[in-house]
Amino acid sequence: MQNEKINFLKTYLSLYIDHNTVLAGLQAAEPAYTILDVRNAPAAIKKDQIKGAIALPAKDLSDRLDELDKTKTYVVYDWTAGTTLGKVALLTLLSAGFQAFELSCALEGWKGMHLPIETI
Amino acid sequence: MQNEKINFLKTYLSLYIDHNTVLAGLQAAEPAYTILDVRNAPAAIKKDQIKGAIALPAKDLSDRLDELDKTKTYVVYDWTAGTTLGKVALLTLLSAGFQAFELSCALEGWKGMHLPIETI
Amino acid sequence: MQNEKINFLKTYLSLYIDHNTVLAGLQAAEPAYTILDVRNAPAAIKKDQIKGAIALPAKDLSDRLDELDKTKTYVVYDWTAGTTLGKVALLTLLSAGFQAFELSCALEGWKGMHLPIETI
């Protein structure tokens, strides 16, 4: 059972990327990550987003995969960690052969840490 | 590793049903889902619930499975997505051979979307 | 698919321990659990913690495993259930051969239930 738990945790955690890693990657000369805001909401509801994110709602993702680049690594986020939308988007991206992670703690955690956002 | 991630996400997401699917199913002539409020709290604490839900606290679920119907599909929810009680209830239902899902984002998400609730 | 869901849920839930079980275990003559506060924050930010918890930030855990005792069972918690830090700490502990669980609903849930905390 201990091994099952360990394997489960390893796979679970391999889906995520934390904000420190993302921030460090974005500050590189060649940014290591492209952030996708996958919230299914109009800009008027969203109001702001992670600085530099591309809005690509999860509901449109399957139809817009050709806008993405297989040489990049994508980081998806939704409003909070409690939703399943980030994982829906992540499954779409991984299934299509993209490198992708879900942002730990989502937008809520990013804002809670007072990390860079921008008005939209 | 990519395949492991994909399989993990598929199984994880197969546990959930989102509020749009639930709402659409409830509006059918023959409602597609029966909603179970599995919160372990008295009505005075709960105050309200998803419209039409049946209160069946997770702590009583094992003893009250004979009240349920194997031809139906159940949707369980707890207060928030952060608790494990919905998954405890879901495991009990699936292990007993019922069709069941956990509501994505729980009651908190349902209320956040201003979907139908009722005072209890 | 039903079996896969059941196995997934069993493993997922086996990672967690709920506050009732923890509370009962702490009240035994020989406390059954040692609580580790794995938040990566200084005391001034944390302000309070679960009563009797030991502060052992997740970032320092790998380097401080020799302070722990393999005859004990550890319960780790972070701020909220939405973070992945509790699972990072749990993976470290289980991989090193310790008995450990993550506290369901984290500190947020513990406080929400008005369970014993202490100022730090």
Residue ranges of domains in chain C, CATH in brackets: 2-119 (3.40.250.10)
- Interatomic CA distance for residues B88 and C13, integer angstroms: 7
Q: Is the per-residue pLDDT at B86 higher than 90?
A: yes
User: In whole numbers, what is the pLDDT of chain A averaged over residues?
Assistant: 95
Say if the Cβ atoms of A87 and B5 lie within 8 Å: no
Output the DSSP codes for chain C.
-HHHHHHHHHHHHHTEE-HHHHHHHHTSSS-S-EEEE---S-HHHH-EEETT-EE--HHHHGGGGGGS-TTSEEEEE-S-TT-SHHHHHHHHHHHTT-EEEEETTHHHHHHHTT--EEE-
**Cβ-nearest to B13 among A14, A80, A87:** A87
d(CA A58, CA B17): 16
Residues in chain B: 120
Whether residue B6 lies within 8 A of chain A, CB to CB, comes out as yes
Q: Answer whether B108's CB lies under 8 Å from B79's CB.
A: yes
| Nearest-CB residue to A4 (from C11, C80, C82) | C11
* Chain C residues with CB-CB distance to A10 below 8 A: 91
Interface contact B18-A87, CB threshold 8 A? no
Q: Per-residue pLDDT averaged across A30-35, rounded?
A: 94
Look at residues B7, B12, B14 and name the one whose alpha carbon lies nearest to residue A95: B7
- Encode pLDDT of A96-105 as tens digits: 999 999 999 9
Give chain B's mean pLDDT: 95
Specify the pTM: 0.94
pLDDT of A1 reads 73
Q: Please give the sequence-ordered ranges of beta strands (E in DSSP) within chain A, or none if there are none.
A: 16-17, 34-37, 48-50, 54-55, 73-77, 99-103, 117-119
Query: What confidence score (pLDDT) does residue C82 get?
Result: 87
- Residues of chain A contacting C57 with CB distance shorter than 8 Å: none
Q: Are C77 and C35 in contact (CB under 8 A)?
A: yes
A12 Cα to chain C: minimum distance (Å): 9
- Using the Cβ of A87 and the Cβ atoms of chain B, whether some distance falls under 8 Å is answered with yes
CA-only gyration radius of chain A, Å = 14
Task: Identify which of A5, A77, A16 has the alpha carbon closest to the alpha carbon of residue A46.
Answer: A77
Q: Shortest Cα distance from C104 to chain A (angstroms)? A: 14
Q: Indicate the pairing of strand A73-77 with strand A34-37.
A: parallel
Average pLDDT of the residues in B16-33: 93
Q: How far is B105 from chain A (nearest CA, A)?
A: 5
The band of B1, judged by pLDDT with boundaries at 50, 70 and 90, is confident
Cβ-based contacts of B5 with chain A (< 8 Å): 11, 14-15, 94
Q: To which H or E segment does residue B100 belong? A: strand B99-103
Residue C1's pLDDT is what? 73
The pLDDT tens digits along chain C (120 residues) read 799 999 999 999 999 999 999 999 998 888 999 999 999 999 999 999 999 999 999 999 999 999 999 999 999 999 999 899 999 999 999 999 999 999 999 999 999 999 999 999
pLDDT-based confidence at residue A82 (cuts at 50, 70, 90): confident
User: Tell me, what's the ipTM?
Assistant: 0.94
Nearest by Cα to C78 from C36, C113, C34: C36
pLDDT score, position A45: 92
pLDDT, position C73: 97
Interchain proximity C87–A18, CB inside 8 Å = no
Tell me the mean pLDDT in the region B65-81: 96
**CA–CA min distance A1, chain B (Å):** 17
**Cβ-based neighbour number of residue C13 at 10 Å:** 16
Distance from the Cα of C9 to chain A's closest Cα (Å) equals 11
On whether any CB of chain C is under 8 Å from the CB of B11, the answer is yes
Q: Cβ of A119 under 8 Å from any chain B Cβ?
A: no
Q: Please give the share of chain B, as a percent, with pLDDT higher than 90.
A: 90
Task: Write down the pLDDT at residue B75.
Answer: 98
Which residues face A117 on adjacent strands?
A50
pLDDT band at B28 (very low <50, low <70, confident <90, very high): confident
Question: How many other C-beta atoms can be found within 10 angstroms of the C-beta atom of residue A36?
Answer: 25
Using the 8-state DSSP alphabet, how is residue A28 labeled? S
Helix (H, G, I), strand (E, B) or coil at A72: coil
Best CA proximity match to C84, nearest among A25, B13, B82:
B82
Whole-number pLDDT of residue A28 = 87
Neighbours of chain A (3+ CB pairs under 8 A): B, C
Give me the mean pLDDT over the A24-28 stretch: 91
